[in-house]
Amino acid sequence: MKINKIVKKGLWAVLITGVLFFAILVFHIITAKPAVYESPNLQVSRIDFKENIDSAAAKKICADLRSIKGLTSDSIIVKRNVVVYFHNNKITNSKKVYDELMSKGNYDAKRYILPANLANQEVCPIDQNSYSYKLSKKINQFFN
Protein backbone atom coordinates (compact mmCIF):
# COMPACT_ATOMS: atom_id res chain seq x y z
CA MET A 1 0.00 0.00 0.00
CA LYS A 2 2.94 2.33 0.58
CA ILE A 3 3.87 2.13 -3.12
CA ASN A 4 0.38 3.21 -4.17
CA LYS A 5 0.67 6.38 -2.04
CA ILE A 6 4.08 7.20 -3.57
CA VAL A 7 2.77 6.59 -7.11
CA LYS A 8 -0.32 8.75 -6.43
CA LYS A 9 1.81 11.58 -5.02
CA GLY A 10 4.15 11.34 -8.02
CA LEU A 11 1.24 11.44 -10.48
CA TRP A 12 -0.27 14.43 -8.67
CA ALA A 13 3.07 16.24 -8.77
CA VAL A 14 3.38 15.59 -12.53
CA LEU A 15 -0.22 16.69 -13.11
CA ILE A 16 0.17 19.89 -11.09
CA THR A 17 3.45 20.72 -12.85
CA GLY A 18 1.83 20.14 -16.25
CA VAL A 19 -1.17 22.34 -15.39
CA LEU A 20 1.17 25.05 -14.11
CA PHE A 21 3.26 25.00 -17.31
CA PHE A 22 0.10 25.06 -19.43
CA ALA A 23 -1.25 28.04 -17.46
CA ILE A 24 2.06 29.90 -17.95
CA LEU A 25 1.91 29.16 -21.69
CA VAL A 26 -1.68 30.41 -22.00
CA PHE A 27 -0.82 33.54 -20.00
CA HIS A 28 2.15 34.24 -22.25
CA ILE A 29 0.10 33.77 -25.43
CA ILE A 30 -2.65 36.06 -24.18
CA THR A 31 -0.33 38.84 -23.00
CA ALA A 32 2.21 38.73 -25.85
CA LYS A 33 1.93 41.59 -28.31
CA PRO A 34 2.63 41.22 -32.02
CA ALA A 35 5.95 42.55 -33.27
CA VAL A 36 5.97 46.19 -34.22
CA TYR A 37 8.39 47.00 -37.00
CA GLU A 38 10.02 50.39 -36.80
CA SER A 39 10.90 50.43 -40.49
CA PRO A 40 7.89 49.40 -42.55
CA ASN A 41 9.51 51.07 -45.56
CA LEU A 42 12.56 48.83 -45.63
CA GLN A 43 13.48 47.54 -49.07
CA VAL A 44 16.17 45.12 -50.19
CA SER A 45 18.37 45.85 -53.21
CA ARG A 46 21.36 44.26 -54.85
CA ILE A 47 24.48 45.25 -56.77
CA ASP A 48 26.40 42.66 -58.82
CA PHE A 49 30.17 43.11 -59.08
CA LYS A 50 32.10 41.73 -62.04
CA GLU A 51 35.40 41.33 -60.18
CA ASN A 52 35.98 39.15 -57.14
CA ILE A 53 35.44 40.90 -53.84
CA ASP A 54 38.19 40.16 -51.33
CA SER A 55 38.01 41.15 -47.67
CA ALA A 56 39.73 44.51 -48.18
CA ALA A 57 37.39 45.43 -51.05
CA ALA A 58 34.41 44.25 -49.01
CA LYS A 59 35.40 46.55 -46.13
CA LYS A 60 35.76 49.50 -48.51
CA ILE A 61 32.41 48.78 -50.17
CA CYS A 62 30.71 48.47 -46.78
CA ALA A 63 32.29 51.72 -45.57
CA ASP A 64 31.16 53.49 -48.75
CA LEU A 65 27.64 52.11 -48.40
CA ARG A 66 27.42 53.01 -44.70
CA SER A 67 28.14 56.63 -45.57
CA ILE A 68 25.05 56.78 -47.82
CA LYS A 69 21.99 58.23 -46.12
CA GLY A 70 19.08 55.78 -45.80
CA LEU A 71 21.17 52.63 -45.23
CA THR A 72 21.91 51.16 -41.83
CA SER A 73 25.31 49.78 -40.89
CA ASP A 74 24.06 46.31 -40.03
CA SER A 75 22.11 45.76 -43.23
CA ILE A 76 24.88 45.11 -45.77
CA ILE A 77 25.71 41.58 -46.91
CA VAL A 78 28.72 40.93 -49.17
CA LYS A 79 28.95 37.42 -50.67
CA ARG A 80 30.07 35.93 -53.97
CA ASN A 81 30.57 39.22 -55.84
CA VAL A 82 27.11 40.39 -54.81
CA VAL A 83 26.26 43.12 -52.32
CA VAL A 84 22.80 43.03 -50.79
CA TYR A 85 21.69 45.98 -48.71
CA PHE A 86 18.54 47.26 -47.06
CA HIS A 87 17.43 50.84 -47.40
CA ASN A 88 14.53 53.00 -46.36
CA ASN A 89 12.61 53.70 -49.56
CA LYS A 90 11.26 56.98 -48.14
CA ILE A 91 14.80 58.36 -47.89
CA THR A 92 16.53 56.83 -50.90
CA ASN A 93 16.11 54.29 -53.69
CA SER A 94 18.38 51.68 -55.25
CA LYS A 95 19.31 53.92 -58.21
CA LYS A 96 20.50 56.73 -55.91
CA VAL A 97 22.46 54.28 -53.75
CA TYR A 98 24.09 52.73 -56.83
CA ASP A 99 24.99 56.14 -58.27
CA GLU A 100 26.48 57.32 -54.96
CA LEU A 101 28.46 54.11 -54.54
CA MET A 102 29.88 54.39 -58.07
CA SER A 103 30.87 58.00 -57.41
CA LYS A 104 32.72 57.00 -54.21
CA GLY A 105 34.82 54.26 -55.81
CA ASN A 106 35.90 52.91 -59.17
CA TYR A 107 33.83 49.74 -59.10
CA ASP A 108 33.01 47.46 -62.01
CA ALA A 109 29.43 46.68 -61.04
CA LYS A 110 25.86 46.96 -62.15
CA ARG A 111 22.61 47.40 -60.31
CA TYR A 112 20.41 44.31 -60.23
CA ILE A 113 16.99 45.00 -61.69
CA LEU A 114 14.32 42.39 -61.23
CA PRO A 115 13.13 40.92 -64.55
CA ALA A 116 9.60 41.89 -65.54
CA ASN A 117 8.33 38.29 -65.37
CA LEU A 118 9.39 38.05 -61.69
CA ALA A 119 8.25 41.52 -60.63
CA ASN A 120 4.60 40.54 -60.12
CA GLN A 121 5.17 37.10 -58.61
CA GLU A 122 4.34 36.49 -54.99
CA VAL A 123 7.46 35.95 -52.90
CA CYS A 124 6.00 34.28 -49.83
CA PRO A 125 7.31 30.68 -49.68
CA ILE A 126 4.29 29.47 -47.70
CA ASP A 127 1.38 27.90 -49.52
CA GLN A 128 -1.47 30.15 -48.44
CA ASN A 129 -4.07 27.54 -49.35
CA SER A 130 -2.63 24.92 -47.01
CA TYR A 131 -4.44 23.74 -43.90
CA SER A 132 -1.52 24.57 -41.59
CA TYR A 133 -1.32 28.16 -42.89
CA LYS A 134 -5.06 28.72 -42.42
CA LEU A 135 -4.99 27.19 -38.93
CA SER A 136 -2.02 29.30 -37.80
CA LYS A 137 -3.67 32.42 -39.25
CA LYS A 138 -6.89 31.71 -37.30
CA ILE A 139 -4.95 31.13 -34.08
CA ASN A 140 -2.96 34.33 -34.63
CA GLN A 141 -6.14 36.33 -35.27
CA PHE A 142 -7.76 34.86 -32.14
CA PHE A 143 -4.94 35.96 -29.87
CA ASN A 144 -4.37 39.34 -31.51
pLDDT at 39: 52
CATH 3.40.190.10 fits 42-117, yes or no: no
pLDDT at 66: 87
The amino acid sitting at 89 is N
pLDDT at 127: 79
| Among candidate residues 80, 83, 77, 132, the one with its CA nearest the CA of residue 107 | 83
Q: How far apart are CA 23 and CA 26, in angstroms?
A: 5
Q: How far apart are CA 29 and CA 116, in angstroms?
A: 42
Number of H helices, E strands in the chain: 5, 4
pLDDT at 96: 92
Q: How far apart are CA 61 and CA 65, in angstroms?
A: 6
DSSP 70: T
| Among candidate residues 68, 73, 67, 57, the one with its CA nearest the CA of residue 94 | 68
pLDDT at 110: 92
Task: Per-residue pLDDT tens, the chain, 144 aa: give them.
Answer: 577 888 999 999 999 999 999 999 999 988 887 766 555 677 888 899 988 888 888 888 888 888 888 887 666 788 888 888 888 888 888 899 999 999 988 888 999 888 888 777 766 677 778 888 888 888 878 776
